[in-house]
């Protein structure tokens, strides 16, 4: 599936779920929904209550080493603005001398509509678009940190790499990425037999939402690390923050721009000699 086709399907899913995600973050119950969607929200509430503090804690670790008077944050797949809202409250209180420049981007116009309402009292840049749009220019770029929570799994490997590369292009040279997503976490090989039925249930749910087939991608830790490496990120640490089951948990990966191989003095001399020879020809 092409990136454009996958973005369109993701957009449909998140347009449908926007009101329900507002319910998750801001406790605004939506009575006119199916039992299945209602159960989905009930399962999400405790998950989100755990996820958000974990990512905020990662931002705090970065801020302890930060020497500037401002700190720019990019939230990719910002949804209804719930993470930005809670992160701003926590970080602004703990670091009053730092100005936080925050940008949120989401492909769903419905999500951005809710985010605009929920964040109306904050100075936040909100964009409805795909991060892969190369014409995008954010007022806060380049960013100190990019956050992406449970977004990469909506994309195939090839498209996920393109998303990560697009984020990498918006980062500062020493910028950092905090990725949180589902990951298979089996402790015994037999559990792999049950991963396919679990995957099919997830696929059926999202397919039901948009009225057409959809495949949700849950990866292993090694697969997620490989995607980051392919996008020129270097993983500094990773850990499982929670286990929703004995097979699938929430993995947190912190990555920085990959350190490029430094040229030796001899390599530089050779390169200069080659350049001079070309000029004399």
Confidence of residue 51 (pLDDT cuts 50, 70, 90): confident
- Which of the four pLDDT bands, split at 50, 70 and 90, describes residue 198? low
For residue 163, whether the previous peptide bond is cis, meaning omega lies within 30 degrees of 0, is no
pLDDT tens column, 107-131:
999 999 999 999 999 999 999 999 9
Q: What is the CATH number of the domain that holds 46?
A: 3.40.50.150
Question: Facing residues of 219 across strands?
Answer: 183
Query: For residue 201, what pLDDT is reported?
Result: 73
Length of the chain: 281
pLDDT band at 251 (very low <50, low <70, confident <90, very high): confident
Residue 149's contacts (CB-CB under 8 Å, 6 or more residues apart) are 51, 55, 77, 83, 180, 181
Q: Do β-strands 171-184 and 70-76 pair in parallel, antiparallel, or remain unpaired?
A: unpaired
5 or 271, higher pLDDT? 5
DSSP 67: -
The pLDDT value given to residue 264: 43
Crossing angle, helix 3-26 and helix 35-64, to 10 degrees?
90
Residue bearing the bigger pLDDT, 143 or 218: 143
Over residues 175-204, mean pLDDT: 69
pLDDT at 247: 42
Half-sphere exposure in the Cβ direction for 95 (13 Å, CA): 21
Q: Lowest-pLDDT range, 58-67, 155-164, 264-273? A: 264-273
Give 203's pLDDT tier (boundaries 50, 70, 90). confident
pLDDT of 190: 46
Report the chain's mean pLDDT, rounded to a whole number.
83
Q: What is the pLDDT of residue 111?
A: 97
Q: What is the token pair recorded at 240?
A: 């499982």
d(CA 225, CA 147): 16
Give the residue with greater pLDDT, 98 vs 182: 98
Helix ranges restricted to H, 27-156: 35-64, 82-94, 109-118
Per-residue pLDDT of 138-170, as tens digits, reads 999 999 999 999 899 999 999 999 999 999 999
pLDDT-based confidence at residue 31 (cuts at 50, 70, 90): low
- Burial category of 88 from C-beta neighbours within 10 Å (exposed 0-12, middle 13-18, buried 19 and up): buried
Mean pLDDT of all residues in 250-279: 55
> What local confidence, expressed as pLDDT, does residue 210 receive?
77
| Total domains present in the chain | 1
238, β-bridge pairs: 253
Give the DSSP H/E element, type plus range, for residue 207.
helix 192-210
Tell me, what's the pLDDT at 233?
93
Least confident of 27-31, 63-67, 103-107, 261-265: 261-265
Residue 170: predicted pLDDT: 95
**pLDDT attached to residue 105:** 98
**Predicted local confidence at residue 57, as pLDDT:** 94
Q: What is the mean pLDDT of residues 97-108?
A: 97
Q: Would you call 114 exposed, middle or buried from its count of C-beta atoms within 10 A (0-12, 13-18, 19+)?
A: buried
Residue 32, by phi and psi: left (phi above 0), alpha (psi -120 to 50) or beta? Answer: beta
Q: Is the CA virtual torsion 27, 29, 30, 33 positive or negative?
A: positive
22: number of Cβ within 10 Å? 25
Q: Which residues span the domain enclosing 172?
A: 3-280
């Amino acid at each position: 599936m092409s990136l454009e086709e996958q973005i369109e399907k993701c957009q449909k899913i998140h347009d449908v779920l926007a009101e329900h995600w507002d319910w998750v973050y801001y406790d605004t119950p939506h009575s006119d929904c199916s039992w299945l969607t209602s159960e989905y929200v009930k399962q999400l509430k405790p998950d989100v209550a755990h996820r958000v503090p974990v990512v905020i804690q990662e931002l705090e670790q970065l801020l302890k080493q930060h020497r500037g008077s401002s700190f720019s944050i990019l939230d990719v797949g910002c949804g209804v603005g719930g993470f930005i809202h809670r992160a701003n409250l926590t970080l602004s209180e703990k670091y009053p001398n730092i100005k936080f420049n925050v940008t949120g981007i989401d492909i769903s116009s419905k999500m951005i509509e809710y985010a605009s309402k929920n964040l109306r009292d904050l100075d936040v840049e909100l964009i409805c678009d795909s991060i892969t749009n190369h014409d995008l220019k954010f007022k806060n770029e380049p960013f100190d940190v990019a956050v992406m929570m449970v977004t990469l799994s909506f994309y195939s490997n090839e498209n996920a790499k393109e998303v990560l590369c697009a984020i990498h292009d918006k980062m500062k040279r020493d910028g950092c990425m905090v990725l949180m997503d589902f990951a298979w976490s089996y402790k015994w090989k037999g559990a792999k037999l049950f991963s396919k039925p679990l995957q099919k249930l997830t696929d059926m749910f999202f397919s039901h939402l948009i009225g057409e087939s959809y495949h949700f991608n849950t990866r292993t830790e090694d697969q997620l690390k490989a995607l980051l490496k392919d996008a020129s990120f270097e993983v500094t640490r990773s850990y499982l923050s929670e286990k929703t089951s004995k097979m699938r948990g929430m993995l947190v990966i912190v990555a920085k721009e990959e350190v490029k191989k430094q040229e030796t003095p001899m390599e530089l001399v050779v390169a200069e000699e080659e350049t001079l020879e070309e000029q004399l020809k």
